[in-house]
Structure 1
Amino acid sequence: MNSLTLQPTPPVAAPDPVPTAGPRPLRRWISVAAACAAGAGLLLSLPPYGLWFLAPVAVALLAAATHRRRLRAGLGLGMLAGLVLFVPLLDWTNLAAGWLPWIMLSLAQAGYLALVGLAGAWLSPLHDRWRVLWPLTAGLLWVTQEALRDRAPFGGFPWGRLAFSQGDAPALRLAVLGGAPLVTFAVAAAGGALVALAWRRWSRPRTWAGAAGFAAVAAVLVAGPALVPVATPAGETRTVAIVQGNVPRLGLDFNAQRAAVLLNHVRATQNLADEVRLGRKPKPELVIWPENSSDIDPLRNPDAAQQIAAAATAIGVPILVGAVLRGDVPGEIRNAGILWKPVTGPDLDQVYIKRHPVPFAEYMPLRPIARVVSAKADLVKNMVAGQTPGVVRTPAITVGDVICFEVAYDSIVRDTVTGGAQILAVQTNNATFNEAEARQQLAMVRLRAVEHGREAVMVSTVGVSAFVGTDGRVHSPTGFNVAAVVLRGIHVGGPRTLATRLGHWPELAAVGLAVLLLALAAPMRRRRNGDNPAAEHTTEER
Structure 2
Amino acid sequence: MLAVVAAGFALYAGSPPRELWWLAPIAFAVFAAVLRGRKARAGFGYGLLFGFAFLLPLLGWLQDFLGADFGPWPWLGVAAVQALFVALGGAGMARVSRLPGAPVWMAAVFVAAEALRSAVPFGGFPWGRLAFTQDTGLFLPLAALGGTAVVSFAVAVVGGGLAELARRARTPRRWAAPLAAVLVPVVGGLAMLPFIGTDPNAGTARVAIVQGNAPNLGLGLLYEDGVLHANHIAAAQQLAADQAKGPLDFVVLPEQVGSWGPSQTDPDLSGVAAQLGVPLVVGGLGKDPDGSLRNQIVRWDPATGAGDRYVKQHLVPFAETIPMRPVARLVSPFVDRFRSDMVPDDKPGVLDVGGVRLGVGICYDVAYDDVFTGATQEGATLLAVPTNNAWYGHSEMSYQQLAMSRLRAVEHGRAVLVAATSGVSAVVQPDGTVTQQTELFTAQNLIAEVPLRSTQTLATRLGSAPMWTLVVLGVGAVALSWWRPRRTADA
TM-score exceeds 0.5: yes
Q: Which residue of 2 aligns with 1:287?
A: 251
Shift in Å at residue 297 of structure 1?
A: 1.9
Alpha-carbon contact 1:456-1:468 (below 8 Å) kept? yes
Secondary structure of the 1:425 match is strand
> 2:415 is aligned with what amino acid?
E
Q: Which residue of 1 aligns with 2:452?
A: 492
Structure 1: tracts of 5 or more residues without a match: 1-31, 529-542
Match of 1:312 among 273, 293, 296: 273
> 1:285 is aligned with what amino acid?
D
Match of 1:172 among 115, 123, 140: 140
Structure 2: tracts of 5 or more residues without a match: none
Alpha-carbon contact 2:310-2:360 (below 8 Å) kept? yes
Q: Which residue of 2 aligns with 1:379?
A: 337
Residues 1:125 and 2:94 are matched in the alignment: no
Q: Which residue of 1 aligns with 2:233?
A: 266
Whole-Å separation in 2 of the counterparts to 1:525 and 1:251: 56
Whole-Å separation in 1 of the counterparts to 2:121 and 2:410: 28
Match of 2:311 among 339, 342, 353: 353
Shift in Å at residue 192 of structure 1?
A: 1.0
> 2:235 is aligned with what amino acid?
A
Whole-Å separation in 2 of the counterparts to 1:89 and 1:328: 40
Residues 1:233 and 2:207 are matched in the alignment: no
RMSD of aligned C-alpha atoms?
1.9
1:248–1:364 distance in 2 versus 1, CA, 3 Å: same
* Equivalences for residues 139-538 of structure 1 within 5 A: 139-200=107-168, 202=170, 207-211=171-175, 214-215=178-179, 217-222=181-186, 224-228=188-192, 229-235=195-201, 236-276=203-243, 279=244, 281-294=245-258, 296-297=259-260, 305-328=266-289, 332-347=292-307, 350-373=308-331, 377-381=335-339, 382-434=341-393, 435-524=395-484, 526=486
> 1:306 is aligned with what amino acid?
P
Deviations for 1:130-169, whole angstroms, at most 9, x for unmatched residues?
Answer: 3xx1331132122111111111111111001111111111
Shift in Å at residue 253 of structure 1?
A: 2.7
Whole-Å separation in 2 of the counterparts to 1:431 and 1:525: 55
Whole-Å separation in 1 of the counterparts to 2:333 and 2:452: 46
Q: Percent identity?
A: 40
> 1:371 is aligned with what amino acid?
R
Whole-Å separation in 1 of the counterparts to 2:333 and 2:239: 42
Shift in Å at residue 201 of structure 1?
A: 5.6
Whole-Å separation in 1 of the counterparts to 2:329 and 2:236: 41
Q: Which residue of 1 aligns with 2:80?
A: 107
Shift in Å at residue 283 of structure 1?
A: 1.6
Q: Which residue of 2 aligns with 1:51?
A: 20
Whole-Å separation in 1 of the counterparts to 2:336 and 2:422: 25
> 1:287 is aligned with what amino acid?
V
Deviations for 1:71-128, whole angstroms, at most 9, x for unmatched residues?
Answer: 22211110001110111111212233432122111111101110122112212432xx
1:268–1:386 distance in 2 versus 1, CA, 3 Å: same
Secondary structure of the 1:421 match is coil
Normalised TM-score (structure 2):
0.93
> 2:30 is aligned with what amino acid?
L
Whole-Å separation in 1 of the counterparts to 2:96 and 2:324: 37
Whole-Å separation in 1 of the counterparts to 2:237 and 2:484: 70
> 2:164 is aligned with what amino acid?
A
Q: Which residue of 2 aligns with 1:6?
A: none
> 1:210 is aligned with what amino acid?
R
Of residues 366-375 and 48-57 in structure 1, the stretch that sits farther from structure 2 once superposed is 366-375
Aligned length: 479
Q: Which residue of 1 aligns with 2:5?
A: 36
Whole-Å separation in 2 of the counterparts to 1:372 and 1:255: 16
Deviations for 1:497-535, whole angstroms, at most 9, x for unmatched residues?
Answer: 11111111111111111122112222345467xxxxxxx
Alpha-carbon contact 2:33-2:160 (below 8 Å) kept? no
Dislocated runs of 4+, deviation >4 Å: 298-302, 327-330, 372-376, 525-528
Alpha-carbon contact 1:137-1:192 (below 8 Å) kept? no
Whole-Å separation in 2 of the counterparts to 1:111 and 1:380: 30
Q: Which residue of 2 aligns with 1:22?
A: none
Whole-Å separation in 2 of the counterparts to 1:286 and 1:465: 16
Deviations for 1:5-59, whole angstroms, at most 9, x for unmatched residues?
Answer: xxxxxxxxxxxxxxxxxxxxxxxxxxx1221122112111211223110111111
> 2:352 is aligned with what amino acid?
R
1:373–1:306 distance in 2 versus 1, CA, 3 Å: closer
Whole-Å separation in 1 of the counterparts to 2:111 and 2:180: 22
1:307–1:141 distance in 2 versus 1, CA, 3 Å: same
